[in-house]
Amino acid sequence: MSQLFTPYSLGPLTARNRIAIAPMCQYSAENGDATDWHMIHLGHLALSGAGVLFIEATAVEPVGRITPGDLGLWSDQNEGALQAVVRAIRRHSTIPLVVQLGHAGRKASSAAPWEGGKMIAPEQGGWQTVAPSAIPHAPDEPTPDALDDAGLQRVVAAFAESARRAHRLGLDGIEIHAAHGYLLHQFLSPLSNLREDRYGGSLENRMRFPLEVYDAVRAAVPASMAVGVRISATDWVEGGWEIEQSTAFAQALKARGADFIHVSSGGVSPLQKIPVGPGYQVNFAARIRHDTGLPTIAVGMITDPAQAESIVASGQADMVALARGILYDPRWAWHAAAALGGSVEAPQQYWRSQPSQYRQLFGATTTGQR
């Protein structure tokens, strides 16, 4: 029996299989509001047969957006716009929905990738960014403001309020974004955090603010809602954040009751040197899972069904997540199930599409046509 197509629980959230759709920024919101694009994009991914769908990085305050087109969850209007998308999905799919809440920190106020991705100056429609320390991401970029105590409290409160909105929307979980060089990762990494107060210096101090955010989010929603964290396991830069520190952070999260950890890498420095290749981040997930026992999701060029099956069956990770690969092939889970002898949930309207040699692909027996 394929292990990839067995159920798995991330705390109170149970997925039908071990395939997750990773959060993927679409840069297509309006003032943080979900648009028709999100209805189409998330709607068709909800019919993919995957076990859980992560909604893209969603800013907890306007200055925390990566781009002006980022999805947000800081206002009633944001909440209402996303509610329309969630309601449509719920009418046609049982896939669990998890929102990734984040804050871009010093990497905010940027143009969309297809517009070059460069930082946008305030006089050109951007905004002043914030960070742990007044150090720009790249030497030619504007300097962020270092967050003071009031700013830190504001950000924690924003995460908690967005979490409450996520719960009101009826979402199944929250993933706190502490990866890819965004604000919480900036606090963790010694490359971006040069503070001399209780939030900087030692590993314990650098973990303090991300853990305060986790605690606030966990306290803001009931135990019936899963809460986990996305991390970058290494900065891929000498002297930066690395796997031993990631393991210590994961252990601290587990002690606080975290339901899962989602393991990525990089993003905090343009000096990173990443040896990209199939499954290049899986070993980090395996290390964290082995050392902590925390339910672990692996991501990073996982494209082949046999590769995904091996990762789960060998115990390297409990789930695998696909991003670009599932944009390219939104029915990846169907094709993986066909290759591995599994089955997926599919809408009745599509039951007639299963090839005759895969009659149990959808677990359905009525596939005739009048």
Active-site residues, by number, are: 182
Instruction: Report the distance separating Cα 202 and Cα 218, nearest Å.
Output: 25
Q: State the greatest distance between any 2 C-alpha atoms of the chain, in Å, as a whole number.
A: 73
Question: Which residues contact residue 85 at a Cβ distance below 8 angstroms, ignoring those fewer than 6 apart?
Answer: 34, 38, 39, 42, 43
Q: Are 232 and 181 in contact (CB under 8 A)?
A: yes
Q: Are 68 and 29 in contact (CB under 8 A)?
A: no
What is the helix, strand, coil percentage profile of the chain, to 5? Answer: 40, 15, 45
The Cβ-side half-sphere exposure at 138, using a 13 Å CA radius, reads 12
Q: Give CA angle at 72 (70, 77), nearest 5°.
A: 125
Q: Give CA angle at 270 (269, 271), nearest 5°.
A: 85
Instruction: Report the distance separating Cα 259 and Cα 3, nearest Å.
Output: 20
* Cα–Cα nearest to 265, from 311, 310, 228, 230: 230
Beta-sheet strands, E only, within 66-187: 71-72, 97-102, 130-131, 145-146, 173-178
Helix or strand holding residue 45 (H, E): helix 36-45
Q: Are 101 and 58 in contact (CB under 8 A)?
A: yes
* Cα–Cα nearest to 183, from 230, 121, 140: 230
The Cβ-side half-sphere exposure at 219, using a 13 Å CA radius, reads 10
Instruction: Report the distance separating Cα 148 and Cα 188, nearest Å.
Output: 17
